[in-house]
Amino acid sequence: MQRICFCLQVKRDRLEEYKERHRSVWPEMREALRQAGWGNYTLFLRDDGLLIGYVETPDFERALHEMAITEVNRRWQAEMKDFFESDSGLGADEQMRPVGEVFHLD
Amino acid sequence: MQRICFCLQVKRDRLEEYKERHRSVWPEMREALRQAGWGNYTLFLRDDGLLIGYVETPDFERALHEMAITEVNRRWQAEMKDFFESDSGLGADEQMRPVGEVFHLD
């Protein structure tokens, strides 16, 4: 099982709306994540907009791909895109780069 | 069980040394963490020195306290202190403020 951490940047003037949207993530989006192998998945949001994701999955590249090909993810990411700072024009899920692990204790 | 995320800032000129030190955390420090309730504890380090901690524990304030009163933690934190950016003069473990959770999927 891989432990993955990634960081994204939410626009500071949209933090409250971002939080609100994540209180009611679509059930079909939650189910798609599960099916794609996203386990023990948590998002943390710092006051300055730094979004930190933590997820456990057998293979993160595969988990990203399995989501990317779903229709519900396309709809969700389209709605989320404007919440994020992005120079690249990429969607949030296309910017999830793993941060290196330096220590682990079970 | 609480899921806790915290951020610290490692000095950019000491990243390699920080990583090296965490490849061989003292066994007695690992055991003290376990005894204090630190479970599934991972540290991730971004290239710019952002250190992200993720830990699962019944009560984070208590887990911090249970470590703070150990002799091995005092020794460990004394050796780690200079690795971190700090305006406050506090040790790393005294700067671990939980980042708010906005989403979770089991």
Sketch out chain A's domains with CATH numbers. Answer: 2-95 (3.30.70.100)
Which ranges constitute the DSSP H helices of chain A?
Answer: 15-22, 27-35, 60-68, 71-80
For residue A44, list chain B residues with Cβ-Cβ distance below 8 A.
Answer: 5, 99-102
Give the whole-angstrom CA distance, residue B10 versus residue B58: 27
**Is a pLDDT exceeding 90 seen at residue A11?**
yes
According to the model, what pLDDT value does residue A97 have? 96
Provide the ipTM: 0.97
According to the model, what pLDDT value does residue B81 have? 95
The closest CB to that of B99, out of A25, A46, A100, belongs to: A46
Give the whole-angstrom CA distance, residue A44 versus residue B102: 6
According to the model, what pLDDT value does residue A26 have? 98
**What is the DSSP code (8-state) at residue B34?**
H
According to the model, what pLDDT value does residue B31 have? 98
Average pLDDT over residues A76-99: 94
Q: Which helix (H) or strand (E) holds B66?
A: helix B60-68
- The residue ranges of chain B whose pLDDT is under 70 are none
Range with the poorest average pLDDT among A13-17, A54-58, B42-46, B84-88? B84-88
Distance from CA of B21 to the nearest CA of A (A): 9
Give the whole-angstrom CA distance, residue A56 versus residue A78: 24
Mean pLDDT of chain A: 97
Write the pLDDT tens digit of every residue in A23-45: 999 999 999 999 999 999 999 99
Q: C-alpha distances in angstroms, B8 versus A8, A87, B3, B29? A: 17, 25, 17, 19
For residue B106, list chain A residues with Cβ-Cβ distance below 8 A.
Answer: 39-40
According to the model, what pLDDT value does residue A93 have? 93
**Is a pLDDT exceeding 90 seen at residue A89?**
no
According to the model, what pLDDT value does residue B89 have? 87
**Is a pLDDT exceeding 90 seen at residue A9?**
yes
Average pLDDT over residues A86-103: 94
> How many residues can be counted in chain A?
106
Give residue ranges of B with CB < 8 Å to any A CB. 3, 5, 7, 18-19, 22-23, 25, 30, 33-34, 38-46, 50-52, 54, 99-106
Model confidence, pTM:
0.97
Helices (H) and strands (E) in chain A, counts: 4, 4
Distance from CA of A46 to the nearest CA of B (A): 6
Q: Choose, from B3, B12, B22, B75, the residue flagged as catalytic.
A: B22
Q: A46–B7: do the CB atoms touch at under 8 Å? A: yes
Residue A59 confidence class, pLDDT cut points 50, 70, 90: very high
Give the whole-angstrom CA distance, residue B54 versus residue A55: 10
Helix-helix angle A60-68:A27-35, to 10 degrees: 140
**Is a pLDDT exceeding 90 seen at residue A87?**
no
According to the model, what pLDDT value does residue B64 have? 98
- Collapsing DSSP to helix, strand or coil, B36 comes out as coil
Q: A102–B3: do the CB atoms touch at under 8 Å? A: no
